[in-house]
Amino acid sequence: MNQIKIGVIGASGNIGRYTHCENIVKYTDGAVLTAVSSSSKASVQKIADHYCVQAMENAEELITSDQVDAVLICSSNETHVPYTIRCLEEGKPVFLEKPMANTLEEAQLLLEAEKKAGEHMVQIGFMRRYDPDYIEMKKVLDSGSLGAPLMVHCISRTRYTNLKNRPDSEHITVIGVHEVDICRWLLEENMKEVMVRFPRSTTVETGDSRDPQFLLMQTENDILIDVEATANSYYGYEILCEVVCEKGTIRLPVTPSVMVRSYLNVGQALPPDWNDRFVVAYRNEVQHWVDYLLGKTDVPGPGTADGYEACRICDAFIRAQKTGCWETV
Ligand code: NAP
């Protein structure tokens, strides 16, 4: 096979339409978009017409279609596990958006399904591992020139999230999960304990939800990680990270945009959301998945073991939200 036929489930959503379909069609070598689906054929028909591909009646039709070799799932979180398991039953590899599962029990079911289907059948959408800035951070850290890492400070601010009537746990499963994975990847360590504190809540757009939340994690070797998880920053999308080592620190650049001086002012534009901040990472993660499927690399991307570990840590965070104490992972 020298070209993978990809079907996208959740193609009418934010990340499906603006990021994944677009990247498969325009930026992925060795792949072709052949089919799309979402919760109804009507809502995905426009996308299908735009890319001249087939709109499927539903996910099941897409998964079983002979026009689809591999499936990219970026539909709502609760669909992740059932659709991935169906793909695995059909022997089709999956690129699955994060979070791998909403609960640890569901994550376990997926692990078992993959065991039956074969190794590395699922890549999880932990795209920060493909971001050039994080890759550079890891290179410096791994060189050992700054000594051992001691602490990590992370900030994750989303400009706007409609949190009304959403549970507190979504700060963990939607926002915190990225910090969990990137810290595991950077430090090559698992977490042993986690804790959550609730500062005063913003009154901007939150409804009943508590926003921001302050997350703490401690690794097996006692590296302490703090994360400010803000769902409604109002002013822009910003991801910051600083690893504090024995002999220096490594920081993500504040924003990779030009500095503009205007009348009595100097500043840089901020990205409005994740899509603009992680453009390259989203392209590279799908390219890597396709390269792996085509046998161009034998290094698989982040898989179900990473997804499961992230779920275990998130599960402990959700317990910690209720108890207010350090919880063991
Ligand atoms: P969204 O805009 O709400 O889109 C959800 C998509 O899922 C829509 O296409 C929707 O179809 C479809 N859908 C809903 N229920 C379905 C069902 N039962 N069967 C099939 N399709 C169904 O959400 P989003 O922001 O794009 O997020 C989608 C997923 O991507 C989430 O899991 C999210 O965590 C993940 N995500 C990851 C990142 C990242 O940085 N890696 C960023 C954003 C999102 P209709 O339009 O027909 O309702």
- With the most atoms of ligand 1 within 8 angstroms of its CB, the residue from 12, 75, 181, 314 to mutate is 75
Enumerate residues 6+ apart whose C-beta is below 8 A from 27. 283, 287
Alpha carbon of 326 to ligand 1 centroid (Å): 32
Q: Of 247, 248, 196, 200, which Cα lies nearest the Cα of 225? A: 196
Q: Where are the alpha helices (DSSP H) in 3-90?
A: 14-15, 22-27, 41-51, 59-64, 80-89
Q: Of 206, 120, 226, 115, which Cα lies nearest the Cα of 158? A: 206
Q: Looking at this protein, which amino acid is placed at residue 236?
A: G
**Burial of 144 per CB tally in 10 Å (0-12, 13-18, 19+):** exposed
Alpha carbon of 187 to ligand 1 centroid (Å): 30
Enumerate residues 6+ apart whose C-beta is below 8 A from 44. 11, 12, 36, 37, 38, 55, 56
Domains of the chain, first to last = 4-124 (3.40.50.720), 129-273+310-328 (3.30.360.10)
* Residues 289, 148: Cα–Cα separation, whole Å: 32
Percentages helix, strand, coil for the chain, rounded to the nearest 5?
40, 25, 35
Four-CA torsion 203, 233, 176, 211, nearest 10 degrees: -10
Contact 296, 305 (CB under 8 A): no
Alpha carbon of 192 to ligand 1 centroid (Å): 31
| Residue 71, helix vs strand vs coil | strand
Atom of ligand 1 nearest to the CA of 38: 21
pTM (2 d.p.): 0.96
- Go through the chain and tell me how many residues it has: 329
Atom of ligand 1 nearest to the CA of 42: 47
Alpha carbon 137 to its chain centroid, in Å, reads 18
Tokens of 257: 């945009």
* Residues 229, 183: Cα–Cα separation, whole Å: 14
CB-CB neighbours of 4 under 10 Å: 20
The C-alpha angle 185, 103, 234, rounded to 5 degrees, equals 70
Nearest protein CA to atom 47 of ligand 1, as residue: 39
Is 45's C-beta closer than 6 angstroms to any atom of ligand 1? no
Contact 176, 229 (CB under 8 A): yes
Contact 21, 36 (CB under 8 A): yes
Alpha carbon of 327 to ligand 1 centroid (Å): 30
**Burial of 148 per CB tally in 10 Å (0-12, 13-18, 19+):** exposed
Q: Of 35, 31, 34, 33, which Cα lies nearest the Cα of 2? A: 31
Is 40's C-beta closer than 6 angstroms to any atom of ligand 1? yes
Is 176's C-beta closer than 6 angstroms to any atom of ligand 1? no
| Residue 41, helix vs strand vs coil | helix
At residue 206, the pLDDT reads 64
- Helix axis angle, 177-187 relative to 132-143, nearest 10°? 40
Per-residue pLDDT of the chain (329 residues; tens, 9 = 90+): 789 999 999 999 999 999 999 999 999 999 999 999 999 898 899 999 999 999 999 999 999 999 999 999 999 999 999 999 999 999 999 999 999 999 999 999 999 999 999 999 999 999 999 999 999 999 999 999 999 999 999 999 999 887 677 889 999 999 999 999 999 999 999 999 999 999 999 988 767 789 999 999 999 999 999 999 999 999 999 999 999 999 999 999 987 689 999 999 999 999 999 999 999 999 999 999 999 999 999 999 999 999 999 999 999 999 999 999 999 99
Contact 219, 192 (CB under 8 A): yes
Task: List, edge to edge, every strand of the sheet that includes 122-124.
Answer: 54-55, 31-37, 4-9, 70-73, 94-96, 122-124
* Residues 237, 158: Cα–Cα separation, whole Å: 5
